[in-house]
Amino acid sequence: MKITNKLIEKHGLRPEEYKAIKKLMQREPNFLELGIFSAMWNEHCSYKSSRIHLKKLPTTGKQVIQGPGENAGVIDIGDDDAIVFKIESHNHPSYIEPYQGAATGVGGILRDVFTMGARPIALLNSIHFGSPKHVKTKSLLNGVVSGIGGYGNCIGIPTVGGETKFNETYNENILVNAMAVGHANKDKIFYSKAKGLNKPVVYVGSKTGRDGIHGASMASAEFDENSEEKKPTVQVGDPFTEKLLMEACLELMKDNSIISIQDMGAAGLTSSSVEMASKGDLGIELELDKVPCREENMTPYEMMLSESQERMLITLEDGKEQEAKKIFDKWDLDFVVIGRTTNDKNLTLKFKDKIEGVIPIEALASNAPIYDRKWIKKKSKTKEINLKDLKKIKIEEALINILSSPNHSNKSWITNQYDQSVMCDTAQKSGSDAAIIRIHNKDKAIAVSVDSSANYCKSQPITGGKQIVCENWRNLIAVGAKPLAITNCLNFGNPENKEIMGEFAECLEGIKEACEFLNYPVVSGNVSFYNGTNKKNIYPTPVIGGVGLIKKLSKPLNHNFKKEKSNLILIGKTFGHLEQSCFLKENFSIEEGLPPEVNLLNERNNGESLLKLVAKNLVLSCHDVSSGGLITALAEMSITSKFGAKIQKPKKLTNSLKYFFGEDQARYIIEIERDNFNKVDKILKENDIYFENIGFTQKDFFEIEGESKISTKDLFKINNEWYNNY
C-alpha cells in the first residue's frame, strides 16, 4: 500500500513526525510499520506532551519498591508484604460504548496489577458525567456503572470505593478512571524487562480479534460529530476469561520460569513486545502466523494493532515451555511460543516465512517525540462574595439544596450494583472517607480512596493540584491510616492549546509541592489528553488514588456518629472561604473566584496529630471537611448513623453562612467521649493544633442552636430523593 499524506494523517501522525520516522528508518516505512509507529508514537502510549512535566514529580521514598515506568507502582507495607496499585483512564471508549468501555477499563487495570505478581484485592473508580439534564447522561451513567459492576463482579474482585460527579463540562466527554490494588510478596514482584538472548516469547490468554484496532490512537484525539464511527476501536471484554488468565499467571509465578511479563493493553502486541525489548536493550522477533486468532484471514497489521482483551506476553527461561504450557492448558487458555529475543535491537515481524517489517526498537521507544509545548499561566481572579448581594437564604434551606443535589445525594444506587464484599477482606465499604481492606489472614489493613476537584483546578491550577492531594491525604487519615503513596490519572483537554497545557503544567506543580511536603510519592499513573469535543475542552481533572496503612485493625474508623451525647470537635481553623464553594454552586449557580488556600504545614500537622488521637483510641468517628463545608460534613455523619447533633453558633465568625459552608482546608470533625475531652485537649495543645468544641450528638434531630432543627429521618429522605427520582 502506497503511503500517502492522507494515510499518514489518518494514522494520527504529523508531517514532521513522519519525516522523523523516515530518518530513523533510513527509508520509507511500509503500511504495517506505519501502523506500529502510529501506535507507539501517539499521546496515549508515548506521553510525548507530558513526559517533561511528569519527571518533576517525587517518585521515591523509603516505602517505594517500584515507581513509575512499570505496569503498576509497588510499595512496601512491612512483613514482606507489598501493595501494587495503579489508576488509568478509559474515557474515550466509555463515551463511545459505555458498557464495554468501562468494563475493559476495569479489565485493563486489573492486568496491570496481576502482571506484577500481585493478587488484586480491590477496585475503585472515579467517574464524571455531564449535567443530569443532558440527553446522553442517563444512558451513559447506566452503561458505565453496569460495565464496572459487570466486570468486577464476574471476576470476583470487590469494588470498594470511588466517586461519581456531574458537571456540564463533561457533557460531550465523560471520564471513566479505574484503579486496582493488589497484594504481593515483596520478594516476588515481576517486571516487564526482557533479559537474555534467544529466549522464548510466549503469547497467552484469549485469541486475537479485530476489536480495539487503533484504540490507543483514538484515545489520543479529540471527539467530533463523527465519534460514533469509532465504535470498532472499543475493545470487548470477557471477565470470565480474565479470571482464568489471572489464576494461570499467578500459578506460573510460583516458580522461576518467568523472565518478564507484560499485558497487551493499549496498542496490544505492538506495545507489549516493544516495551519488553526496549527495557531489556534487546531485539524481538515475532512469527505472526503463530498468533492465535479468532477471526479468519487476519493480517499482520490487524494482529499487531488489535487491542483484544485478556492477553499477555511472556518471556520464559529456557526449557520451561512445556511446564508452563501445562498450566495454561489446565485453565483452558492459549499458550503459543510466537517468537524469541534477539541481539539486533530490532522488532522483526515475520508472516508465513516472509519478513513483513523491521523497525529499530529505540525508534519506537526512546526516540519517540518529546514535546515541550508552549503554555501560559492561568490568570486567576478572586471574586469577593458579598452575601448581601445574593438572595437571602437560611442555613437549613441551603443545606437541603446541597444534600439533594446530584453531586451530594446518596449514591448507594450506584455502589449497590458493585460486589463490595467478595473475598471477605473488605473491612469498610464505600460511603466513608476511605475504604478499608484487611490483608488476608493478618491484623493489618490498607485504606484506599480516589478524589478529584475540577472546579478548584480550573480556577487556580497550582492550588487545585495541591488541594486534591491534600483531600486524598485527609480521607486516608480520617479512617486512621498513615498515607503512604499515590497514583494519579491526569485528565485534561487538548495539550496543543497553550491554556490547557498551562493548566496541566501548573496542576502538576501543585501536585509536586503537596506530595513532596507530605512525603506522599507518586508511584504510578496515567495521562489522558484530548478530552473534549469540537474544540470544547473539559475542566482540568486530575484524579488522585491514595493508599494508606493501618498497622493493626481492630475496629474500622468511619464517619458514622456512634452514640448519644458525645463531644464534637472541629480540628483546624475556619475562615469562611466561599469562592468556588458548593454553597454558591448549588444555591446560586455561581462558579467564580479562587479556591481556598492550602497550607501544607497545617495539613501535615493536623493530620499527624489526629493519627496520634486515633492511636490512643480516643476517636469514635471522624470526617474530613471538604465540599459543602462544616455543616455538610456534619449532616453526612448524621445521615449515615441515624444520630443527630446539636451544633453551637459560631463564636468568632459573625456570618453563620460563611462559618458553616466555607470550604477552608486542613479540617476534620471528630466525635469523642465526653470523659476523654481532657486527654484530647492535652494532645492537641501539645502539638499546637487549633480546635473548637462545636457541639454534641443527640437522638432524632440535626440542629443548629437557635437557627434550625430538622429530624434525622427527614435529613435521610432529602439525601436519597434525587437518585430515587432520576
| The total number of residues written for the chain in this structure | 726
Q: Is 86 helix (H, G, I), strand (E, B) or coil?
A: strand
Which segments within 466-576 are labelled E, that is strand? 482-491, 522-528, 532-533, 536-537, 541-550, 567-571
Cα distance between residue 11 and residue 632, in whole Å = 49
Which segments within 620-704 are labelled E, that is strand? 621-624, 643-647, 668-672, 691-699, 701-704
Cell of 613: 488521637
Are 515 and 555 in contact by the 8 Å Cβ rule? The answer is: no
Are 431 and 415 in contact by the 8 Å Cβ rule? The answer is: yes
Residue with cell string 460529530:
225
DSSP 528: E
Could you tell me which residues come within 8 angstroms of residue 67 by beta carbon, excluding any fewer than 6 positions away?
59, 60, 73, 521, 522, 523, 524
| Residues facing 662 on adjacent strands | none
Angstrom CA distances, 404 to 135, 424, 449, 715, stand at 21, 33, 23, 10
Cα distance between residue 339 and residue 202, in whole Å = 7
Long-range contacts, 597-601 (Cβ 8 Å, 24+): 597/463, 597/664, 597/665, 598/463, 598/466, 598/467, 598/470, 598/514, 598/665, 598/666, 599/665, 599/666, 600/466, 600/470, 600/513, 600/514, 600/517, 600/518, 601/517
Cα distance between residue 488 and residue 85, in whole Å = 10
Cα distance between residue 650 and residue 29, in whole Å = 71
- Which residue blocks in 281-422 are alpha helix, DSSP H? 300-305, 321-330, 361-364, 395-403, 412-415
- At 240, phi and psi to the nearest 5? -70, -40
Are 318 and 189 in contact by the 8 Å Cβ rule? The answer is: no
Residue 128 among the catalytic residues: no
**CB neighbour class for 642 (10 Å; exposed up to 12, middle 13-18, buried from 19):** middle
Pick from 366, 363, 344, 365: nearest CA to 355 = 344
Long-range contacts, 681-686 (Cβ 8 Å, 24+): 683/609, 683/612, 683/613, 683/616, 683/618, 684/571, 684/609, 684/613
H/E stretch holding 119 reads strand 119-129
Q: Which of 11, 44, 183, 623 is flagged as catalytic?
A: 44
**CB neighbour class for 229 (10 Å; exposed up to 12, middle 13-18, buried from 19):** exposed
Cell of 425: 477482606
Residue 408 among the catalytic residues: no
Cα distance between residue 507 and residue 489, in whole Å = 12
Cell of 228: 460514533
Cα distance between residue 394 and residue 713, in whole Å = 20
Q: Which of 11, 53, 90, 214 is flagged as catalytic?
A: 90
Cell of 700: 432524632
Provide the annotated active-site residues. Answer: 44, 90
